[in-house]
Structure 1
Amino acid sequence: MEVYAFIGPSGTGKSQRALPLALSYGIRYIIDDGLLIKDGRIVAGVSAKSEISKVKAIRRALFQYDDHRMEIIGRIKKEAPDKILLLATSEEMARKICENLELPYPSKIIYIDEIASLTEIIQAKQEREKGGKHVIPVPLVEVERGFRGKLVGRIKLFFSGGKEEIGEKVIVRPPFSFYGRLSISENVFKGLIRVLVEEHSPYVFVRQVALGFPEEGNIEMELKVEVVYGISMRKLLRGLQFYIKNRLEELTGMVVSKVDIEVVGLITNAGFGRKAQSHGGD
């Protein structure tokens, strides 16, 4: 199987150009925002644009929900396409999608500015920013079955001669564009991480938390901790990493891409008693 990646920032018109681009390369299958599309029809998946929050939409587009991911993997194996066109905002996103769907990395990368003019890209971004409008490259009836946002309009696609229709695209406004912006301060995240550490183990004490936000909806963290002497640190800290990642994703909807934990000190039994008392212990 050969994977083609169509790369461009969000809102630059990738979905609008996906079907003609796929046809030009003889590609029948498209992966776009959580959907597997064949010949302009949805055959598997759930649209990320139907999610009620932007963070969940990002996770949906990356196929990070197990049931969704397995559905797409199973359908791809059943269909056995020779080529797939994958839409992504960056090469890194394309690689993540390939990893999650057990696909080979893209053999060819096509950038939006190779097939759209700067004026067209700017216009698409302005329309996205002003109206919150997104395009799904399938007919209206396909979208109506499971879409939870607002249907705004439709676009007919024709070959350059303008006589033969090659497909239809639907313009939608996702649910998350209906609401105002929701933000969580960095201090709240740090406080939440400290609480999660205390929940998981009474033998680990956080000295410092450093956070990074490499992209929207994604968080990385580095923890410096002290651990009670005599505890099996390797097993304890691996369990703590897993716990923090899963609980933080569950509570905030964000993607936790890295949890680094550095042990900077050991606590003796006497010191443990004092530490436990200062943290509300008996």
Structure 2
Amino acid sequence: MKIYSLSGPSGTGKSTSALQFAHDYEIEAIIDDGILIINGEKAAGTSAKFEKNTLKAVRRAILDDDIHKAEVLDAISAHNVKSLLLIGTSDKMTKRIAARLQLGDIDEYHYVHNIRTEKEIRMAKYVREIQGKHVMPVPYRQVEQNFFKRLIQRGKEIFSSSQVKLGETTIVQPDFHQNSVYISRTVFTDVLDHVLEKQDKLAKFEIANIQTDGIPQITIALFLKPPVSYVVPEYLFELQKEISQEFSLHFGIEPETIHVQIKGIK
């Protein structure tokens, strides 16, 4: 069996990237947080995200329990897995998992900062550290909802470049993640108002939508002041940059999208 390692700090988006990474490297199976995933579906194991405290979560993730380990090994054997991706916070952790499963040496080591952009990592950290949301690379229907007292919701469907569905993600808020910050939609709106009100080229603006469930997504409608003696797309690009910088300053995250619509000249 060929063994791959993908590691990086907690909350940097390893689970979000796992399905695409495995597809790109033609890896048959994934072990992430204690669960074995084959063809985008949970095949065995219990997720560390079901645990009540951090210590138990870590032990679950490294398959410290013998019954848990045996269940995963039986499934690997039953599916005749020839290549396996181990996900952890460090090389030390993925080596520990490989040792627990008696898989031998890891053949290839990969790191999240090599497969995700800095912006993607910042966005993932925001979702984890501010909102307390964790991603599981398994379908919503396979997550034991009774384990969670708090948030659980559908994530994203993951598709290859040729539009083949690779699997789905589910977003959960584990009981052991106690610290999260709630930012009111009004606060996001106030920051956006501040940026737009000081624009001397705008006669009027309307905030059409601010989606704050996850990374903020913004849609605004603008009316320009005459005369328009400048290149409009260039001005809009600079406005997007200014909004992005203000959000980064106040919230530590850039908006996922900033859609700008020109309604006319007023």
TM-score band by shorter chain is 0.5 to 0.7
User: Per-residue displacement from partner, 1:166-213 (whole Å, max 9, x unpaired)?
Assistant: 321111111112479xxxxxxxxxxxxxxxxxxxxxxxxxxxxxxxxx
1:83-162 equivalences under 5 Å are 83-144=83-144, 147-149=147-149, 150-160=151-161
1:170-185 equivalences under 5 Å are 170-178=170-178
Q: 1:95 to 1:84 in 2, by over 3 A?
A: same
Give the equivalent residue in structure 1 for 2:167: 167
Q: 1:115 to 1:79 in 2, by over 3 A?
A: same
**If you compute each CA radius of gyration, which structure gives the higher value, 1 or 2?**
1
Give the equivalent residue in structure 2 for 1:249: none
Report the CA distance between 1:57 and its aligned residue: 0.3
Report the CA distance between 1:123 and its aligned residue: 1.7
Report the CA distance between 1:147 and its aligned residue: 4.0
Task: Confirm whether residue 47 of structure 1 aligns to residue 31 of structure 2.
Answer: no
Q: CA contact under 8 A between 1:2 and 1:104: conserved in structure 2? A: no
Q: 1:104 to 1:129 in 2, by over 3 A?
A: same
Which whole-Å CA distance do the structure 1 matches of 2:33 and 2:98 have between them?
A: 13
Give the equivalent residue in structure 2 for 1:2: 2
Give the equivalent residue in structure 1 for 2:30: 30
Which amino acid counterpart does residue 152 of structure 1 have in structure 2? Q
1:204-223 equivalences under 5 Å are none
Q: Identify unmatched segments of 5+ residues in structure 2.
A: 181-266
1:9-24 equivalences under 5 Å are 9-24=9-24
User: Per-residue displacement from partner, 1:230-267 (whole Å, max 9, x unpaired)?
Assistant: xxxxxxxxxxxxxxxxxxxxxxxxxxxxxxxxxxxxxx
Which whole-Å CA distance do the structure 2 matches of 1:52 and 1:75 have between them?
A: 26
TM-score, L = length of structure 1? 0.60
Q: CA contact under 8 A between 1:2 and 1:84: conserved in structure 2? A: yes
Give the equivalent residue in structure 2 for 1:73: 73
Q: CA contact under 8 A between 1:155 and 1:171: conserved in structure 2? A: no
Which whole-Å CA distance do the structure 1 matches of 2:97 and 2:172 have between them?
A: 23
Q: CA contact under 8 A between 2:148 and 2:173: conserved in structure 1? A: no
Q: Identify unmatched segments of 5+ residues in structure 1.
A: 181-282
Q: CA contact under 8 A between 2:33 and 2:49: conserved in structure 1? A: yes
Q: 1:146 to 1:84 in 2, by over 3 A?
A: farther
Count of matched residue pairs: 179
CA RMSD for the aligned pairs? 1.8
Which whole-Å CA distance do the structure 2 matches of 1:172 and 1:145 have between them?
A: 9
> What secondary structure, in the 3-state scheme, does the structure 1 residue paired with 2:176 have?
helix
User: Per-residue displacement from partner, 1:58-90 (whole Å, max 9, x unpaired)?
Assistant: 000011112111211222222221100110110
Q: CA contact under 8 A between 1:134 and 1:173: conserved in structure 2? A: yes
Give the equivalent residue in structure 2 for 1:64: 64
> What secondary structure, in the 3-state scheme, does the structure 1 residue paired with 2:102 have?
coil
Which whole-Å CA distance do the structure 1 matches of 2:39 and 2:67 have between them?
A: 24
Give the equivalent residue in structure 1 for 2:211: none
Q: 1:114 to 1:39 in 2, by over 3 A?
A: same
Which amino acid counterpart does residue 156 of structure 2 have in structure 1? I
Q: CA contact under 8 A between 1:22 and 1:30: conserved in structure 2? A: yes
TM-score, L = length of structure 2? 0.63
Report the CA distance between 1:137 and its aligned residue: 0.5
User: Per-residue displacement from partner, 1:29-66 (whole Å, max 9, x unpaired)?
Assistant: 10000001110111110000011111100000011112
Give the equivalent residue in structure 2 for 1:275: none
Q: CA contact under 8 A between 2:33 and 2:87: conserved in structure 1? A: yes
Report the CA distance between 1:119 and its aligned residue: 1.6
Q: CA contact under 8 A between 1:51 and 1:148: conserved in structure 2? A: no
Report the CA distance between 1:160 and its aligned residue: 3.3
